[in-house]
């Protein structure tokens, strides 16, 4: 890498040391030709900043920059009737380097199973949705009731999120249901998936979905504040004992 940078500096120095051999009357034409010489700037890579792949792409980008500068220096030398510069060492780049293709890590395919039916329970309300926050009113006519739910997360476990400024932060799929008494605004309980949402873990240890939560205080209206982050979908069912 250091040798490439030294070669770049050497090209600029050689370009500055070239003595024009054309007559003074041709200076205007020479300057015009030099102004028309363009330099193609190689595009940067697409790998995540700071990753191993990004360092490989950066090295390739430096090689391509060195080749572009050599082509520019040779174009200037030709204006003055001089011979082109050539790299002779095998370890120096001889042309643009094609960026390597980075194969994405395959995602674990674990689809959300349907919520199984209970022989002793009836579903009185079903709620479905995706990522975001919403509040839903739920009327529970019986004293005892159960909350059944399933979630399909978008990402596999904890992934890295990269902002436009290059900063990185961990991304975790999350899901919660805050149950509140609609009349008194008293929070009853916040329900969350035990163990979090990790498809990789589920693929190894077994899919725990759907989850359920029992409540022994009903016969009233509740507010469900549903918060879902980085999930494809969720389904919630409110069930009461069959009469």
134 and 234 fall within a common domain? yes
DSSP string for residues in 77-138: HHHTTPPPP----TTS--SPPPPPP-PPPPPP--PPPPPPP-TTEEEEEEEEE-SEEEEEEE
* pLDDT at residue number 98: 58
Q: Which of 79, 98, 132 is the last residue of a domain?
A: 79
* pLDDT at residue number 112: 56
Distance CA 77, CA 15 (A): 7
197 and 127 fall within a common domain? yes
136 and 55 fall within a common domain? no
Distance CA 243, CA 229 (A): 37
131 and 204 fall within a common domain? yes
Examine residue 138 and state whether it is found in any structural domain, yes or no: yes
CATH assignment of the domain containing 213 = 2.60.120.380
Examine residue 109 and state whether it is found in any structural domain, yes or no: no
Q: Which of 24, 46, 79 is the last residue of a domain?
A: 79
* pLDDT at residue number 140: 97
Examine residue 84 and state whether it is found in any structural domain, yes or no: no
Number of domains in the chain: 2
Angle in degrees, 0-180, between the axes of helices 52-79 and 2-17, rounded to the nearest 10: 20
* pLDDT at residue number 174: 94
55 and 140 fall within a common domain? no
Number of C-beta neighbours around residue 144 at 10 A: 15
237 and 126 fall within a common domain? yes
Instruction: For strands 132-140 and 145-153, give the pairing.
Output: unpaired
141 and 46 fall within a common domain? no
* pLDDT at residue number 57: 75
> Domain range for residue 135?
121-241
Which residue positions in the chain have pLDDT lower than 70?
A: 1-26, 44-54, 87-113, 155-170
Beta strands in 154-198 (DSSP E): 159-162, 168-171, 174-181, 187-191
Examine residue 24 and state whether it is found in any structural domain, yes or no: yes
22 and 128 fall within a common domain? no
* pLDDT at residue number 105: 43
153 and 234 fall within a common domain? yes
Examine residue 230 and state whether it is found in any structural domain, yes or no: yes
142 and 223 fall within a common domain? yes
72 and 128 fall within a common domain? no
Examine residue 51 and state whether it is found in any structural domain, yes or no: yes
Phi-psi region of 35 (alpha: psi -120 to 50; beta: other; left: phi over 0): alpha
* pLDDT at residue number 161: 47
Examine residue 231 and state whether it is found in any structural domain, yes or no: yes
47 and 156 fall within a common domain? no
Is there a contact between 159 and 142 (Cβ–Cβ < 8 Å)? no
Number of C-beta neighbours around residue 64 at 10 A: 20
Examine residue 98 and state whether it is found in any structural domain, yes or no: no
Is there a contact between 210 and 147 (Cβ–Cβ < 8 Å)? no
């Amino acid at each position: 890498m250091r040798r490439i940078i030294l070669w770049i500096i050497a090209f600029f120095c050689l370009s500055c040391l070239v003595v024009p051999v054309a007559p003074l009357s041709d200076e205007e034409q020479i300057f015009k030709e030099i102004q028309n010489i363009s330099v193609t700037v190689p595009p940067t890579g697409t790998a995540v900043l700071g990753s191993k792949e990004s360092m490989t792409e950066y090295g390739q980008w430096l090689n391509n920059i060195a080749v572009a500068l050599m082509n520019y220096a040779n174009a200037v030398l030709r204006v003055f009737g001089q011979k082109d510069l050539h790299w002779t060492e095998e370890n120096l780049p001889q042309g643009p380097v094609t960026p390597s293709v980075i194969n994405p890590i395959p995602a674990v395919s674990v689809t959300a199973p349907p919520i199984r039916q209970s022989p002793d329970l009836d579903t009185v309300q079903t709620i479905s949705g995706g990522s975001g926050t919403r509040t839903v009113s739920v009327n529970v006519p019986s004293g005892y009731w159960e909350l059944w739910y399933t979630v399909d997360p978008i990402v596999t476990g904890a992934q890295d999120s990269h902002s436009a400024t290059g900063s990185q932060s961990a991304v975790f799929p999350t899901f919660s249901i805050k149950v509140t008494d609609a009349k008194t605004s008293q929070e009853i309980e916040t329900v969350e998936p035990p163990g979090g949402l990790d498809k990789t873990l589920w693929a190894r240890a077994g899919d725990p979905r759907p989850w359920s939560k029992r409540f022994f205080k009903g016969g009233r209206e509740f507010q469900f504040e549903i918060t879902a982050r980085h999930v494809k979908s969720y389904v919630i069912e409110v069930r009461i004992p069959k009469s």
